[in-house]
Amino acid sequence: MKQNITITAKLRSTRGKNEARRLRVQGLTPGVLYGAGQESVAVAVNPREVTKILHSGSGANTIFDLSVEGSSTPVMIVDHQNDPVRAHLLHVDLKRIDMNKPIEVKVPVLITGEPKGVKLQGGLLEVIKREIEIEVLPAEIPEQFTVDVTELMIGQNVRANAVPIGPNMKLVSAADQVIAHVIALRAEEEKPAADAAAGAAPAASAEPEVIKKGKKEEEGAAEEKKKK
């Protein structure tokens, strides 16, 4: 999605860790600009402006203008690195965009509604995929897609080809990719008390049989002694 935003970048003559440290001390973040059949160039940008775009509704799919040495070009953020502790922006990759050519982007999928399989059958809704990839003209990139799962029953699902994309968009993700489904909860198997009692009965009757058998053997031995 093209936004009316312009960020000014400075060209960098050198690269490396020392140069990156110097830039960060100055309040800038190193980056690389490439794409559109032109050579890549090293640049430095204001990290606050880039972070603001990343946290916007369209996020990394935002297309904005990058002004370098007085020349402006549409770009997108294709990669970025943050400090794992302070969360500061450490590096950013920017790609030049041709507004007349379709590009492949990942768009978030918002799941709405309470499935009948959850409400009426006691199932569980699992969201498997939270985005799909599409091919679309840069100016027509949507912020998100919305999928209503209200009618889903246990065992039913929504796949990528059911996501309502626009007429000028092409699905790049696998058509059968499951976005969300409703599954049955596994109940603990409890053995009925009646079955337990029935199972214990044979064990209880076994003891008298053993005793009875032993008594017969003793009586037989006594008879033998009398005969002798």
Model confidence at 223, pLDDT cuts 50, 70, 90, reads low
pLDDT at 116: 97
Please list the residues that pair with 68 across neighbouring strands: 9, 71
Letter string b/e over residues 179-216, b meaning 16 or more CB atoms within 10 A of that residue's CB:
bbbbeeeeeeeeeeeeeeeeeeeeeeeeeeeeeeeeee
Give me the DSSP letters along 57-112. Answer: SSGGG-EEEEEETTEEEEEEEEEEEE-TTT--EEEEEEEE--TTS-EEEEEEEEEE
Return the domain boundaries, the chain. Answer: 2-96, 103-183, 191-228
pLDDT confidence tier of residue 145, bands split at 50, 70 and 90: very high
| pLDDT tens-place string over residues 38-71 | 999 999 999 999 999 999 999 999 999 999 988 9
**Mean pLDDT, rounded, for 27-46:** 93
Query: How far apart, in whole angstroms, are the C-alpha atoms of residue 137 and residue 97?
Result: 10
CATH 2.170.120.20 fits 103-183, yes or no: yes
CATH code that applies to domain 2-96: 2.40.240.10
pLDDT class of 22 with cuts at 50, 70, 90:
confident
Give residue-wise pLDDT tens across range 184-209: 987 544 444 445 445 544 544 444 44
Q: Return the CA Rg of the chain.
A: 35
What percent of the chain lies above the pLDDT cut of 70?
A: 81
Average pLDDT score over residue span 28-39: 93
Asked whether 82 and 89 are in contact (CB, 8 A), the reply is yes
Model confidence at 75: pLDDT above 50: yes
CA atoms within 13 A on the CB side of 19: 12
